[in-house]
Amino acid sequence: MIEIYRNHDFSQVGLYQVMLEDAGIETVLRNRNSVTMTTSVPIPSMYPKICVYTSEDAARARELLAVYAESASAELAADWECAFCGEGNEGNFTECWSCQADCPKWGVSHED
């Protein structure tokens, strides 16, 4: 078994496991229930972790997770100004909070 990812946040581990399984990489989840058994002092060795069987799967899994992490941080980075009403919006908004026009990077469509 080759460990690919470990985190105290089980929801993040679960998301990554589903992504890898959807990409055809067979995974094993270890320490699934250990989060509830941890003390007030974090013990990283007890965190839930994703493992794979082969070194080829490990390389592919690390690449997929790196691409996902990079794209997720890039999407949230830039604030934008609505082309229709001029309102400023945070980078994580996919449409203008004021007029509901789509963010330009997601495709512009505005209904009057």
What pLDDT is stored for residue 56 in this prediction? 96
Q: 82 in helix, strand or coil?
A: coil
For 12-30, how does the pLDDT look when each residue is reduced to its tens digit (9 = 90+)?
Answer: 899 999 999 999 999 999 8
What pLDDT is stored for residue 108 in this prediction? 43
What pLDDT is stored for residue 112 in this prediction? 40
For 96-108, how does the pLDDT look when each residue is reduced to its tens digit (9 = 90+)?
Answer: 999 999 887 654 4
32-41, 71-80, 89-98: least confidently modelled range: 32-41
What pLDDT is stored for residue 75 in this prediction? 55
Nearest to residue 4, comparing CAs of 38, 50, 65, 53? 50
Split into its structural domains, the chain has a count of 2
33 and 45 share a domain? yes
Domain that holds residue 82: 78-112
Q: Which residues pair with 30 in a beta bridge?
A: 49
Stronger pLDDT, 80 or 32, i.e. the higher one:
80
58 and 91 share a domain? no
Q: Which residue has the tokens 């209904």?
A: 111
32 and 69 share a domain? yes
Look at strands 49-52 and 88-89 and give their pairing.
unpaired
19 and 63 share a domain? yes
Residue 53 in tokens: 């069987």
